[in-house]
């Protein structure tokens, strides 16, 4: 339960960090909050030869709110800072209600938003949120920068993203949600703070008594976050009633293809999808 030896670097600038990643390629791992990487290292499931600690890279811990259309969350913003964020409107509410489900309080003190996305646990709350809102992920390397949509960032294999070994996720741009947008988040785990068995994140734009557009992302049902597109289609343009919600939840349960494991059978997860989508939509429409 002790990690293998590694070379430790704590770069002071982004350029220096990117240079180290370029030099060491897949021998190197980025250390941010360490709440997933260090357990894996203690188990020796991960044995990186080099750790690049980005704690001192300036700017990565900021939440940029100057743009009226979007918010950009720095990769090193902590779970706790998103749980207690000051972002106005429904986006801030969604971050707050989702953040409190991420691990336990001491984990949220250290763990980071970007770290969670780059780690890409299939049951991670932030991955589902990024997927639901079609987040744009800013990635940097010594050869340049690129912006990748959440849909392309997460591969449909657990713990896998499109990040190259020498690329660093630096920030994530999310659309501000309009004030007529309701948000909801529901999760089921056996004990408080455990990894989700199934979770659902929703944002629903209202048009009077009907639903203009709904976004629903699920965690725990595949290798990466999944958009429940049939359920979204079942809501668009429909009246905001319990009946509509029930139809959408049934559609979500129908369109997922979960695999069973020690935490729950495929059928059980499918039923949880129906229940979590119902709960999340009820919150969003309340």
Under the rule (CB under 8 A), what is the footprint of another protein? 1-8, 10, 31, 34-35, 38-39, 41-43, 51, 53, 55, 100, 104-107, 109-110, 191-193
- Kindly report the number of other CB atoms within 10 A of residue 50's CB atom: 17
Helices in 164-265 by DSSP H: which ranges? 229-235, 242-255
Q: Smallest distance, Å, CB 102 to another protein? A: 12
Classify 128 as helix, strand or coil: helix
Closer CB to another protein, 3 or 223, in the complex: 3
For 211, the token pair is 């639903």
Closer CB to another protein, 10 or 236, in the complex: 10
Expressed in angstroms, the distance from the first to the final Cα of the chain is 47
Residue 177 DSSP class: P
Q: Smallest distance, Å, CB 94 to another protein? A: 19
User: CA 211, CA 204: separation in Å to the nearest integer?
Assistant: 7
Closer CB to another protein, 80 or 150, in the complex: 80
Q: Smallest distance, Å, CB 47 to another protein? A: 10
Contact by Cβ (8 Å): 180, 139: no
Closer CB to another protein, 43 or 265, in the complex: 43
Contact by Cβ (8 Å): 74, 88: no
Q: Smallest distance, Å, CB 126 to another protein? A: 18
Closer CB to another protein, 40 or 233, in the complex: 40
Q: Smallest distance, Å, CB 110 to another protein? A: 6
């Amino acid at each position: 339960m002790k990690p293998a030896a590694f070379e430790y670097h704590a770069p002071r600038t982004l350029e220096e960090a990117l240079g180290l990643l370029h030099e060491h390629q897949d021998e190197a791992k980025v250390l941010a909050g360490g709440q997933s990487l260090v357990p894996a290292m203690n188990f020796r499931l991960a044995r990186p030869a080099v750790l690049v600690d980005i704690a001192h890279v300036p700017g990565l811990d900021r939440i940029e709110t100057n743009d009226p259309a979007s918010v950009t969350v720095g990769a090193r913003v902590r779970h706790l800072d998103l749980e207690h964020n000051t972002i106005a409107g429904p986006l801030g509410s969604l971050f707050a209600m989702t953040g409190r489900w991420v691990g336990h309080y001491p984990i949220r003190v250290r763990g980071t938003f970007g770290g969670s996305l780059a780690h890409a646990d299939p049951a991670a709350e932030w991955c589902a949120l990024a997927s639901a809102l079609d987040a744009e992920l800013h990635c940097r390397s010594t050869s340049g920068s690129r912006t990748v949509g959440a849909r392309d960032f997460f591969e449909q294999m657990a713990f896998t993203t499109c990040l190259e070994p020498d690329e660093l996720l630096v920030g994530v741009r999310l659309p501000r949600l309009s004030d007529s947008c309701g948000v909801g988040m529901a999760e089921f785990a056996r004990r408080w703070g455990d990894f989700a068995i199934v979770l659902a994140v929703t944002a629903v734009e209202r048009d009077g008594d009907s639903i203009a557009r709904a976004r629903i992302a699920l965690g725990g049902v595949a290798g990466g976050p999944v958009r429940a597109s049939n359920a979204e289609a079942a809501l668009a343009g429909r009246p905001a009633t319990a009946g509509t919600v029930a139809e959408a939840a049934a559609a979500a349960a129908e369109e997922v293809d979960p695999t069973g494991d020690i935490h729950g059978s495929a059928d059980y997860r499918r039923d949880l999808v129906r229940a979590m989508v119902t709960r999340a939509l009820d919150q969003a429409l309340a």
